[in-house]
Structure 1
Amino acid sequence: MVRSTPPAPSPGAIGIRARTEFSRERQKVLRIDPADYQCPALAGQLADAWLDYADKNAVKSSVHQRAAVVSLCTFAGPHLASLGHDPADARLDSADLDLAEVVYAWEQQLSAGYAPQSNEPYRLANTLLNILDHAAQRDARIPERLRERARDRTVLRKRTAQVLDEYSNSERLALREAAMEDIRAMEKRLAAGRLLLEAGRDPREKGWLTVPQLLWAARNGTLTTASLYEYLPEHAQHWPAELRELRPAERGPFAGRRGLAVGVCRMLFPSEIDLHPFRVLLLLSMTDCTSEELHGLRVPEIEFSAQGARIVQTKNRASRVRADFHLTEPEADPQGDEGAGEKAFFEGGGQWDVPGLLRRLVAANELTRQVFDCKPWLFTAVELTGKGVPQAELGYLNVSGRRFTDWIAAHGEMDISQPHDARRLRKTAKTTRVAALGGTLSDLAGDDHHIQVFAGHYAHGTTAHTLAARAVNSAQRKVFDRITTKPILVDPDAEAHLSDPETADALGITVQQGRALMDGELDMGLTNCREPTDSPFTGPGKPCHVAPAMCMVCPNAVIFTSQLPRLLLFADHVERMRERLTPPVWQLHWGQKAQALAELFEECAEHIPAAREQIAAGAVDLDLPLGMRTEYDR
C-alpha cells in the first residue's frame, strides 16, 4: 500500500513532496523538500515526476527513485554554479540550460562514490532516465535534446554480480552445530527467566534490586532505562552481583543501565541475534523456501499437526503464494535426555526437523506476543528503542550488531568463508540435495525450479561442479578402459589352431569365433574382429560402423601376421595425413592409431621385412572406405 501527496498546483511551486509506503506493515515516509537544494524549481519538477512515475507504475517501494532524484539535484546545483549559471533558473523545460549535459556529467561522477563492483551507480542512472522519460511523455515543453537523453541508455556499465557459492560441507556442519547449541542455550535461558518471573512482584513496591522484580517489570511493561536511572544506584558497583552479571558479555553500548535492561529482556524474550540459529537450520532444511519467504512468515500461516507442519509461503519477487507440507521426522535430540525440563516447556523440543524448529520458535515467542501489541511475525524480536523502551517487532536481521555476520563473529572458533550471506545457506541446501540425489539436471531441479533457473543459480556451485567433473571422469575412464586395450596379435603357429579349445581359451575367444576367424568371416579390412556387433564405439547389438579406422584401438581386433602388409600401408597413409592436417586435427584423428601401430610393429619386428617385400612386389593394396576418408582425412 502506498500513498502520495498531491503534486504542487504549478510546476514552479515549492513544497515538500512525500510518499507513504508500507513494507512488512511498517510505515515509511519518503520526502523531498525542493528548498533543500540550490535548484529548487528543478528539484520540485523531478520530485513531481518521481511521485507520478511511482503511482502510475504501482511501484511498491520507490526508495531508489527518490535516491536518484536526490543525487541529481544535489549535484546539479554546484555544477551549474561552477559553469556560471544560476541554479535557481534550472528547470526541465528550460531552453537556456542544456540539462542533458548536466545529466551526462552527473552520470560520469557517480562511480567515484561507490565501490568498484557496486551496481548502485548504474541503477541510479537508469532509474533517473526512466523518470525523465516519464516526465517528457507528459510535458511537451521539455526540450528535444533532454528527451533524447532520457530515451537513450546510461553511459555507465552494469557490473557483473558476484556469483554466490555455497558453504563447504565442513562450514555447513559448523554452522549447524553452532545454531543447535545456541537454540539449546536460548531455551534454557528463557526457561530460567520464566521460572524467576513466577517469584517476581511489582518493583515499585518490593524494590528494584532483585532479578525477579525486574523480570516482573519487563513482563508488565514498566521496565525502561529511565525507570532504572530513577530507582537504581548511580554506579554499577553498588548494584547486587546478580544484576551486574545479568548484563550482556559484550559491554560497549550495553554497559550500565541500558545493558541491564537488555539482559532482563533477554531472560524473557528472544532478541534478533537469537533468531539467526533458527534461520540457519530452517534454510538448511527447507530447500523449497527462500530466505525472503522464510523471513516473511507469520504464525497464522503455519498449521501444525501430528504429521508435520503446513506452511503458506509468499514470494514477493515472483508474486507467488503456495502451501508446502513438511513431515515430522522421528529424530532424537543429539544431546540425549539432557535438558528434559526445557523440552517439556517448549513443545516439540528435541526435534531438529522443520516442524520441530517451527514449534520451538513459536513457543519461544509466546510470551512476546502476550506482552507486546505486535504483528504475529514468526521472526519477532524484542529490542530496546533509542529511548531505552523494549519494543517487539519483526526482526530485520540487518542492523549493525545483529546481522548474520555478527552472529558468526560471536562464535570465534568458527572459520566461515566470506561473504556471510544467508542466501548461501539455501544454495548449500540445494547442493547437499545434489550430492544426495545425483541424477540428471531435470532430476536435480525438482518441482520448485525450471531447469534453466536451476542451471543458472544453483548448478554453478563448487559441489555441483565437483560432482559433475567426477561423473565425467568416471564415464571417460570406463570408455578409455574399453578402447585402450591392445588388439590380439596371433602368431603364425597359432593361426592354424584357433578352433582348438586350448588355443581359443588362451586368446580369450570361443571355439566358434576361432573357426570364423580361420575362415575369414570376421575380416574387417585391416584386421579381424571377434565381435562385430558388440563394438565399444556403437551400441550393443548394432554392427560396427567405424571399422577399419578404429580397429587399432579396439579390444575386439584380432591381427594375423598376414595382415601386416596392409597395416604397413595404413601406417604410411596415417603419416601422409600428418602432412595434410594441422597438428591438433591429426592428433585428434590419428595420434592414438599411430601409437598403436608403432607398438604393434615393434612387437612383431621379425615379420616386418617380409611384409615390406610383399608391398614392393605389388601383391598388396590398401582399400579404405570412402566414408572413412571424408571423416578422418580433412
Structure 2
Amino acid sequence: MARYAGRFACRVLAAELADEWVLYCRTRVLRGPDRPARAVRSFVAFADAWLAERGIGPQPVRLAGGPADLTEIIYEWEHDLRRVHPSPSKRGYELASSLLALLEQRSVREGDLPPKLAARAQAPPLFRKPAEPPPLEEFSQAERLALRDAARRDIRAVERRLAAGRALLETGCDPRQGGWERVANLVWAVHQGLLKTTVLRAHLPTSPGRWPIEIRQVAGDAGPSWAPQALLAGLAAMVFPRELDLQPFRVLLLLAMDECTPEELLDLALDDVEFTDGGVRLAQTKHRAGRIRRRLHTGPVADTGEGAAFEGEGRWDVPGLLRRLFAITDPVRHAYPDVVGWLWVTVEPSGAGRARVRGRRAEFVLEGRRLTDWITRQCRPDGRALEITAPHDARRLRKTAKIARVVALGGTIADLAGDDHHVEVFRRHYAHGTTAHVLAGRAVTTAQQKVFASLTRPVFADEEAVAELTEPEVSAALGLDEDTAGAMRDGQLDMGLVNCRDPYASPHTPAGSVCHVAPAMCMLCRNAVVFPSHLPRLVLLAEHIDQMRSRLTPPQWQALWGRQAAALAQLFEECAAAMPDARRAAQEGRARLHFPLGMRTEYDR
C-alpha cells in the first residue's frame, strides 16, 4: 500500500486505512470495493488539509495515536461531507459509514485505538441516512403503446434519411475536384473524415446567406457564427446515425426484453450478439451482480444467406430490431475503427467549437441526447405532442416490460421473479407497480366473491338426490341431518319459493326468530335448498323481476332485485338440463308464485 499512501501527506494514516480497506473487502467478499476506497481517499485528503491549517506535522499521525485527535478530524470531515453532499444525496452518509466500519474493524481486531476513537467507531454517522426516493412507476398501457408507435415511426424516418444520404453519397466526389458548393460532395468529404469547420469556412462564403440554398437547408436555422458547426452536424447526420436516432431502438428493445436492464443493453459489444437461425443470442453482463447471462430471443427464421447476418429485416421483434440497428451503425464502425467492437455507436461533432466529427459510443446521458429529449421531440400522427408522465427514465421501460409479464403470466412472486431477481428484489422494486396492485386486488376480490357466493347461494338437489334424500350420504352432502331431510321431503320446510334448512337460523333476521323475509331473500340465503319441483316458481320469480325493470329506476332495481337476478341466472345455468320442463310448466300455469302483500307493497312501489 506504499504507492497508494504516497499520494498523501499523512502516509502512515493512509497506509493503515488502506490495509484495513483491503482486509475489509476480503473479509466481506465485496465485489465492488469502490465505496470504502473513496472513503479512505476523502478522509485522508481532508486530514492533510486540516493538519496543514493548524501547523501539525502529518507524518506521526496514525490510528493508534499521535499529535492530532482523529476523532475531532472525523467530526469536522463529516460536517464537510454534509456541506459538499447535501440531502437528498447519499454520498456523504455512505463515505462516513464506510470509514467508521474500517475503524471498528481495526478496533475489534487490534484493540489499539484510543478509547475516544474506538467509541466513535462504534457510533453511527452524525447525520441520518437520507430517505429512499419513492420507487419509479411503470408507464401506463396507453403510454407504452404511444412510446412504441413513436419509436417505430422514428426508426422508419431514420432509415429513410440514411438511405437518401447513401444514395446522395454515391453521386458525390472529392470537393477539391468536384467543387464545394454541392451537398453530395460535402457528404462524400464528411464520410471520408476530411471535413472540419475550418475547411468549411475556408471554402464557403463567409456569410451563410450566400451559400447555395440546398446547403442552407442542411445547416438549418443556425446563426452566422454557428452555421459551419450546424452544417457539419447536418452533413454527418445524412450518412451516420446521431445518438438521438438510437433512442427509439433502445425504447423498443427495453419494452421487448423484460429480463434485460438498461445497463446490460448499453454495454453490449459485437461479440455479445450472436445471430442464429432461430433468433439472436445475447451475452448480458450484469456488473452489479457480477455475472454474465446468455439469453436467446427468438423470432421468425430468416434466410439471409452467408455473410448477410446483420442485414435489416424490417421486423419489430428483438432479432429484427438488432439487425436494423446493425444496418444503420455499421457505417460508423467502418469509418471509425476505434468503436468497431461496440453495438451502440454514433457520429457527432466534437472538439473545440465542435470542429470535426468523430465516432464514439452512445451513452444517452448528455444534454439533448437523453430519453426525455427524445420523448419531448415526438408527436402523435395528428400533430399533437406526445404526453408521457415524468420522470422520463429508461428504468421505467424495464418496469413496464416486467409488469406486462406479470399480466401475461400471473402466478406467485417467486414465479414472476424467475432467475432474473431474488424474490425480495422483485417484491420491492417491481411488484409495487399500480398495474400489479390492481391485478392483485382483482384476484383478492374474485376470491372473496367466490367465498361469499358459496356462503350465500342456495343448494340445488336433482331428482336422484330428492329420491334418496333421507339416505345418510345424500343428506350429509347437502348439509342436512336425517330429520331435516325427512321434513324437507314431506314439504314441511317449504317457504313458498324453496325449502329452508332452518327458518329459525336465518342470516337476515335475529337469531332464534322465525325468518320474516321469505321468500324475498331466499335466493340470497345459505339455508335455501332448491328441488326440481321449485324451478317453475323460480322461473315466475325471474319473470317478475324482469317486469320490475320497467317499473323501477335502474338504481332502485339494482338495489332491490339485482343480486337475486344474478343468483337466479347462475342457478339456471347450473341446472340447464331441467330448465326446458320448468319453463313449460310455468307457461302452462302448473305453478303459482305467491308473494306476501307486504313484499309487494315494499318492493314493487
- The one of 301, 304, 329 aligned to 2:272: 301
Report matched runs for 1:70-85 at 5 Å. Answer: 72=43, 85=54
> What is the Cα deviation at residue 242 of structure 1?
1.8
What's the counterpart of residue 321 of structure 1? 292
| CA distance in 2: counterparts of 1:516 and 1:438, whole angstroms | 44
What's the counterpart of residue 345 of structure 2? 380
Contact persistence 1:303–1:310 (CA under 8 A): yes
> What is the Cα deviation at residue 96 of structure 1?
3.7
2:3 matches 1:6: yes
- The one of 457, 469, 472 aligned to 2:444: 472
- The one of 549, 554, 559 aligned to 2:501: 559
2:523 matches 1:602: no
- The one of 304, 326, 330 aligned to 1:362: 326
AA aligned to 2:454 is R
> What is the Cα deviation at residue 6 of structure 1?
2.4
Contact persistence 1:215–1:268 (CA under 8 A): yes
| CA distance in 1: counterparts of 2:405 and 2:11, whole angstroms | 53
| CA distance in 1: counterparts of 2:264 and 2:375, whole angstroms | 22
> What is the Cα deviation at residue 236 of structure 1?
1.8
Report matched runs for 1:165-564 at 5 Å. Answer: 165-247=137-219, 255-329=226-300, 347-375=311-339, 376-387=341-352, 388-411=355-378, 413-485=385-457, 510-512=465-467, 515=470, 528=484, 558-559=500-501, 564=504
SS at match of 1:365: helix
Q: 1:143 to 1:291 in 2, by over 3 A?
A: same
> Unpaired segments of 5 or more residues in structure 2?
303-307, 380-384, 487-497, 520-605
| CA distance in 2: counterparts of 1:509 and 1:420, whole angstroms | 66
> What is the Cα deviation at residue 364 of structure 1?
0.7
AA aligned to 1:436 is A
Contact persistence 1:47–1:69 (CA under 8 A): no
2:94 matches 1:123: yes
AA aligned to 2:281 is R
SS at match of 1:190: helix
| CA distance in 1: counterparts of 2:164 and 2:107, whole angstroms | 65
Q: 1:485 to 1:403 in 2, by over 3 A?
A: same
Contact persistence 1:527–1:559 (CA under 8 A): no
AA aligned to 1:512 is A
Q: 1:294 to 1:136 in 2, by over 3 A?
A: same
| CA distance in 2: counterparts of 1:298 and 1:603, whole angstroms | 75
> Unpaired segments of 5 or more residues in structure 1?
10-16, 18-33, 35-40, 332-343, 489-503, 531-555, 568-591, 606-634
| CA distance in 1: counterparts of 2:19 and 2:191, whole angstroms | 44
Q: 1:145 to 1:51 in 2, by over 3 A?
A: same
Contact persistence 1:487–1:558 (CA under 8 A): no
Q: 1:123 to 1:228 in 2, by over 3 A?
A: farther
Contact persistence 1:219–1:371 (CA under 8 A): yes
Contact persistence 2:311–2:326 (CA under 8 A): no
| CA distance in 2: counterparts of 1:63 and 1:385, whole angstroms | 31
Q: 1:203 to 1:324 in 2, by over 3 A?
A: same
Deviations 1:424-456 (CA, angstroms, capped at 9, x unpaired) = 111111111111222333443344344444333
Aligned length: 488
Q: 1:272 to 1:144 in 2, by over 3 A?
A: farther
Deviations 1:122-171 (CA, angstroms, capped at 9, x unpaired) = 22322343566688899999755335534543233333243122111111
SS at match of 2:205: coil
| CA distance in 2: counterparts of 1:307 and 1:294, whole angstroms | 20
Report matched runs for 1:44-59 at 5 Å. Answer: 46=14, 49=17, 53=21, 57=25
Q: 1:483 to 1:459 in 2, by over 3 A?
A: same
AA aligned to 1:156 is F
| CA distance in 2: counterparts of 1:64 and 1:470, whole angstroms | 44
| CA distance in 2: counterparts of 1:227 and 1:117, whole angstroms | 48
SS at match of 2:219: coil
What's the counterpart of residue 77 of structure 2? 106
| CA distance in 1: counterparts of 2:134 and 2:20, whole angstroms | 34
AA aligned to 2:347 is V
Contact persistence 1:346–1:364 (CA under 8 A): no
What's the % identity of the aligned pairs?
40
- The one of 127, 132, 135 aligned to 1:156: 127
TM-score (norm 2): 0.69
> What is the Cα deviation at residue 509 of structure 1?
9.7
Deviations 1:71-119 (CA, angstroms, capped at 9, x unpaired) = 55776688779xx944766945563432313322432454455564332
Q: 1:209 to 1:355 in 2, by over 3 A?
A: same
Q: 1:404 to 1:64 in 2, by over 3 A?
A: farther
| CA distance in 1: counterparts of 2:223 and 2:470, whole angstroms | 93
AA aligned to 2:271 is P
Higher mean Cα deviation, 63-72 or 225-234?
Answer: 63-72
What's the counterpart of residue 145 of structure 1? 116
Q: 1:273 to 1:138 in 2, by over 3 A?
A: farther
Q: 1:88 to 1:421 in 2, by over 3 A?
A: farther
Deviations 1:365-412 (CA, angstroms, capped at 9, x unpaired) = 111111102231111122222332322222111112211122112226
AA aligned to 1:314 is T
AA aligned to 1:511 is V
Q: 1:44 to 1:162 in 2, by over 3 A?
A: farther
> What is the Cα deviation at residue 515 of structure 1?
4.8
AA aligned to 2:171 is A
Deviations 1:297-318 (CA, angstroms, capped at 9, x unpaired) = 1122212233211222221112
| CA distance in 2: counterparts of 1:526 and 1:115, whole angstroms | 78
Contact persistence 2:207–2:224 (CA under 8 A): no
| CA distance in 2: counterparts of 1:398 and 1:389, whole angstroms | 21
Contact persistence 2:38–2:95 (CA under 8 A): yes
AA aligned to 2:346 is A
> What is the Cα deviation at residue 286 of structure 1?
1.2
Contact persistence 2:475–2:485 (CA under 8 A): no
| CA distance in 2: counterparts of 1:232 and 1:47, whole angstroms | 61
| CA distance in 2: counterparts of 1:182 and 1:449, whole angstroms | 33
AA aligned to 1:418 is A
- Give the RMSD, CA atoms, in angstroms: 4.3
What's the counterpart of residue 546 of structure 1? none
Contact persistence 2:174–2:185 (CA under 8 A): yes
TM-score (norm 1): 0.66
| CA distance in 1: counterparts of 2:11 and 2:257, whole angstroms | 47
| CA distance in 2: counterparts of 1:446 and 1:89, whole angstroms | 54
SS at match of 2:348: strand
> What is the Cα deviation at residue 361 of structure 1?
0.6
SS at match of 1:602: coil
Deviations 1:7-60 (CA, angstroms, capped at 9, x unpaired) = 466xxxxxxx4xxxxxxxxxxxxxxxx6xxxxxx34995499569947995988
